[in-house]
Structure 1
Amino acid sequence: MDYQRILPCPELRNYISYFWVGTWDVNLPPNDIYYVVANSLTEISFAFEGNQREDDLLFTVVQGQTHRPQQFKVDGFYHVIGVCLHSFAIPKLFNISATELYMGFLTLETFLGLEGRELTEKMALAATTGKRIAILTDFFKSLVRKRQREDQLIAQAVQIIKDEGGSTRINELAQEFCLSEKQFKRRFKASTGFNPKLFNRIVRFESVIKTNPDWTNLTEAAYNNGYFDQSHLNHDFKTFTGFSPTDFYKLST
């Protein structure tokens, strides 16, 4: 698979983590299973028959933040363009609690109605990846200007957890923001859809995935990312992806 990440413009960086583009070899069988693994982000994806101008847009997916791996049968695709949103940005962009998308898997039109249908049509008609990223950028800029709701304190807390790679002590973080742990948990879940301890754990697991080129074995990966031992990391692999580490990495070959 040819995979690339594209950073959003400065105006959107408090809402969008990154855009991504994945293209598979058309000489291989098409992807007809959509894999979902534990993810602290919310994704909106557009799956195409291929990466040529005339190739059809097959389906859209709004995948909410989740701690549970899932698999969905879909039309065979070779090309996907996606946007990964910070879960704390969901209230700001869509004026709903992030909990409403937690573990969700639905079409863009189901989620946004006419607005989603119009965006889907624009993406289907665009000729290049660059134009599709521009369409998404304009769409989210318009949302930012329209929506008014966001908990800035929780946005800061999420950033601290991400900066610390999921090794944050949640009780200490709550004290830092002058909140009881119960208040912090309630506000954090309303903004992100996650219990803060579970979010912290997923971010720690994501740090292992992100640092894959930097470690030589799973024991090293576990200790470098704050796990007590490799067995705890193996447990998180199974919990968050549905696969053992070996089987998980086979998916990208």
Structure 2
Amino acid sequence: MDYLVTQPDGELKNYISHYWVGTWNLDSTPPNDSYYVIASSTTEFTFGFSGSGKEDDLLFSIVHGHTQEPLQKMVEGYYHLIGVSIYSHAIPSLFNIPAYDLNREFLPLSIFLGGEGEELNDRIANARTSRERLEILDDYFKGRLKHQRESDVRMLKAIKEVKRFNGNSKIIDLASDSFLSQKQFNRRFKDFSGFNPKTFSKIIRLESAIKNYPAFPSLTELALKVGYYDQAHFIREFKELTGFSPREFWKLSEK
């Protein structure tokens, strides 16, 4: 698979992790008929196509919410995907709903956005290239910023702390720094991020491990670097969140 990542610019960097394009070889692989998701701190807007050419059909568009467990859904066979990864904590600001409402959801874009989603589908389907489609998505989210809700500043600060320490912050300290009781903090954090603080921290630690994997020669060194107690703890939690052992997971990228 060819995989391309593009970073947003300007204010969108605070809301969107990245845009991405994935393409499979039509001549050497069968069409993909399942969509697999691992635990993730981002919500994805994904568009699936029969191929990467301008005449290829848009087969589906989905919103799959941030999740703490792997999910697999059957879809119409595709060879080409275009998507946008949105931080879970951006959901309240961009769409005026608690982030937890999208946790583990898998929805057609037209159901999530109604007529606005159908219009976005038409524009994406009629664009001629992946670049044009990414520009359409970028314009759409820039438009969303004009109507954004005010963020929960204390929860945003807590999320930044969790990410800064690779998911290894002490939750009791985060609550204290937010001037909230543990119960109040947990509730507000869940509404804002889509997860309770402990689960969010586990996912951030996993994402840190995946990001840092190429820099370490052994799983033990990687596990210790990102805050796992030992390699056994790392492997157990990795499999819980992805459905694969670390070695199985990274073999997938070689296909």
Common fold by TM > 0.5:
yes
Secondary structure of the residue that 1:68 maps to in structure 2?
coil
Residue 250 of structure 1 and its aligned partner are, at CA, apart by: 2.5
Pairwise CA distance, 1:216: 1.5
Letter in 1 for 2:25: D
CA deviations 1:54-74 (Å, max 9, x no partner) are 111111110101011111111
Classify the secondary structure of the residue corresponding to 1:211.
helix
Question: Residue type matched to 2:239 in 1?
Answer: K
Q: Identity over the aligned pairs, expressed in percent?
A: 49
1:232 aligned partner, one-letter code = H
In structure 2, C-alpha distance between the alignment counterparts of 1:201 and 1:107, rounded to whole Å: 28
Q: Residue 15 of structure 2 aligns with which residue?
A: 15
What is the distance in 1 between the residues matched to 2:162 and 2:75?
A: 34
Residue 251 of structure 1 corresponds to which residue in structure 2? 252
Deviation at 1:156, TM superposition (A): 2.0
- Indicate conservation of the 8 Å contact 1:15/1:89, yes or no: yes
- TM-superposed CA distance for 1:183, in Å, is 1.5
Q: Tell me how far apart the structure 2 counterparts of residues 163 and 120 of structure 1 sit (CA, whole Å).
A: 36
RMSD of aligned residue pairs (Cα, Å): 1.2
* Aligned pairs (5 A) from 1:113-132: 113-132=114-133
- TM-score of the pair, normalised by structure 2: 0.96
Alpha-carbon shift at residue 94 of structure 1 (Å): 0.7
What 5-or-longer segments of structure 1 have no aligned partner? none
Secondary structure in structure 1 of the residue aligned to 2:77: strand
Q: Is the 8 A contact 1:222 1:230 kept in 2?
A: yes
Letter of the aligned partner of 2:22 in structure 1? G
Counterpart for residue 42 of structure 1: 43
The equivalences for 1:61-100 within 5 A come to 61-100=62-101
Which consecutive segments of 4 or more residues in structure 1 shift more than 3 A?
Answer: none
Aligned ranges for residues 154-173 of structure 1 at < 5 Å? 154-173=155-174
Please name the residue that 1:174 is paired with: 175
- Report what 1:5 is aligned to: 5
1:24 to 2:48 alignment: no
Q: Which amino acid aligns with 2:79?
A: Y
The one-letter code of the counterpart of 1:6 is: T
Matched residue SS, 2:149: coil
Taking the aligned partners of 2:117 and 2:194, their CA distance within structure 1 comes to 22
1:149 to partner: Cα distance: 3.9
State the one-letter code of the partner of 2:155: I
Matched residue count: 253
**Any gaps of 5 or more consecutive residues in structure 2?**
none
Report Cα offsets for 1:206-245 as digits up to 9, x if no partner: 1111112111221111111110011111111211111222
Q: Does the Cα contact within 8 Å between 1:95 and 1:149 map onto a contact in 2? A: no
Equivalent positions of 1:100-249 (< 5 A) are: 100-249=101-250
- How far, CA to CA, are the matches of 2:147 and 2:206 in structure 1? 34
Shift of 1:133: 1.2
1:151–1:191 Cα contact (<8 Å) kept:
yes
* Deviation, structure 1 residue 11: 2.1
State the Cα deviation string for residues 148-183 of structure 1 (Å, max 9, x = none): 242122122212211221111111122122222222
Q: Match for 1:87: what amino acid?
A: S
Quick one: distance in 2 between partners of 1:179 and 1:78? 48
* Counterpart-to-counterpart distance in 2, 1:128 and 1:155: 36
